[in-house]
Structure 1
Amino acid sequence: MQHFDEQLPLPFLKTDRDGKILSYSNLALENFDLSSGRLNDLVDGENIGKLISYGKGPNFIPITIELNMKTKRNPLALFDVHIVWDRNDHANMIFLPKDSANEDLMEKLMELQERLASTDFELFEKKEELEKAFIRLNQLSGPFIPLSDSMCLIPLFGDLTAEKINIISEGCLKSIFAGEYDEILFDLTAVGEVEGKGVEKFIQLIKTLNFMTGSIIKLIGIKPDLAKVLNNYSFDEWSQINKSLKQVLSIYLNEKTSNM
């Protein structure tokens, strides 16, 4: 037998096909009585058949078997034995003890896995709640407000994003479709940051409303920084920019009065 002079964290043995021990590590010498030089003398009698059957397996494919081993400390101790056969037809084996400490560790790992799974589910629920809250927030950021049977106001709040316009559009189009509105006002006074995709979605909404009602969509409360962004898009055919809600309402009321 040859002493394998490498510091390994687990016992290591190398044997030939007949079970003769060719080399061993320090921990193998500490754990097993190697005086006979035979692997069979270290394995419980009922487990020798299992070891022999696995010893006849194909080369180079790592395998793991569970064996009761005779150690210096215990008459029998359970090990996971990891075996790989090399090109010289030698079995290289590492012995992982399956003692109560390992079982306790596995139980703790399983408990941890269960807690992580539970935490993942809770996080998923919180994520869903947060997504619903964002959707609700976006819906409230563009409420549909009927001012009369033919006039409605949609004030926009916060940043102009594609996601927000998509959510606002759904409720807006349903309300317009259900009524007979020919005066549609968008108040942009409270708009914050503007995304390019958000502007594109907003212009698409204006075009759609114009197509549905045949009316020019009125935009009010446009700030200078927003005006610079909107100037990059051509949508005068479907919209009209007004200074304030007061101005639009004054014109609307005067027209109604003159028609009476």
Structure 2
Amino acid sequence: MQYFNHALPLAFLKADRNGKIVTYSTIARESFDLSGGHLKGIIDEESIEKLIQYSWEPGVNPVKLELNMKTREMPLCLFEVHIQWDSEDHANMLFLPKDSSNEGLMDKLMQLQQRLTSTDFELLEKKEELEQVLTRLNQLSGPFIPLSETLCLIPLFGDITADKINIISESCLKAVFAGEYDEILFDLTAVGEIEGKGIEKFTQLIKTLNFMTGSIIKLIGIKPNLAEVLNNYKLDEWVQIDQSLKQVLNTYFNRNELGAS
């Protein structure tokens, strides 16, 4: 037998057509008792028959078999054996311990699963935190500000989106329902981009507030692009557009002073 002096991670043997071992690697020598110099000394009898039946006719294509091997540590151990015949009519055989391979793979899979589970949980936590932050930002983008017992102001900041208007609507409707407001002002000076579904939600909010209070909803600080969009919703019977917050407040307080006198 010839020693195969190359570093290989698995046991390697080369045998002739008669089963005589002609070459072996370091791991093969450490794993099997090669003193007999023959495959019959290291392969179980039933596996020898399987080997002869399925792979002992030289061919071009490699063959993979599961064989019970006699190792130095165990009387029988299952191996996955890869066999390729070469031009010299020798079978080149590579032995992969099936059990240890599976255990290693299972360990790696379990570790990967644990990491994925941990990562999923962390991502879920981050997602929930982000949703809470976005909800809070949307709430702050349309605060409900009571200016008197009957007058309130809702300034909108940033883009008009469906999510934002839904959150603003919830707090706004609760506050109006709990109070006695007959004048509601929306300051739209700081509005940015306008989302289609967002403006639909906004017009629904206006109509709901009009129904609850019986009063015209006042819109101030409207930019030309927003005015053009709102015109498509025919809101004339529900809203009144004013130039500035100062103008509306002056009118409101002057009217109240006259009423008080």
Q: TM-score, normalised by structure 1?
A: 0.67
Q: Distance in 2 between matches of 1:208 and 1:232?
A: 18
Q: Distance in 2 between matches of 1:149 and 1:73?
A: 90
TM-aligned CA deviation for residue 224 of structure 1: 1.2
Q: SS at 2:155's partner residue?
A: strand
Partner of 2:57: none
Q: Distance in 2 between matches of 1:97 and 1:148?
A: 83
Q: Distance in 2 between matches of 1:193 and 1:143?
A: 19
Give identity over the alignment, percent: 72
List structure 1 runs of 4+ shifted beyond 6 angstroms: 30-36, 71-74
**One-letter code of the match for 1:161?**
T
TM-aligned CA deviation for residue 40 of structure 1: 4.9
Partner of 2:184: 184
TM-aligned CA deviation for residue 67 of structure 1: 7.6
Q: Does 1:125 align with 2:121?
A: no
Partner of 2:210: 210
**Aligned pairs (5 A) from 1:1-260:** 40-42=45-47, 68-70=68-70, 75-79=75-79, 97-100=97-100, 102-260=102-260
Q: TM-score, normalised by structure 2?
A: 0.67
Aligned length: 200
**One-letter code of the match for 1:41?**
E
Q: CA RMSD in A?
A: 3.3
Gaps of 5+ in 1: 1-29, 44-65, 82-94
* Kept in 1: contact 2:44–2:76 (CA 8 A): no
* Kept in 1: contact 2:78–2:99 (CA 8 A): yes
Q: Distance in 2 between matches of 1:253 and 1:119?
A: 58
Q: Distance in 1 between matches of 2:98 and 2:120?
A: 30
* Kept in 1: contact 2:44–2:70 (CA 8 A): no
* Kept in 2: contact 1:158–1:191 (CA 8 A): yes
The structure-2 alpha-carbon separation of the partners of 1:79 and 1:134, relative to structure 1 and needing over 3 Å to count, comes to: same
TM-aligned CA deviation for residue 242 of structure 1: 0.3
Q: SS at 1:215's partner residue?
A: coil
* Kept in 1: contact 2:44–2:69 (CA 8 A): no
**One-letter code of the match for 1:176?**
V
Q: SS at 2:237's partner residue?
A: coil
Gaps of 5+ in 2: 1-24, 33-37, 49-65, 82-94
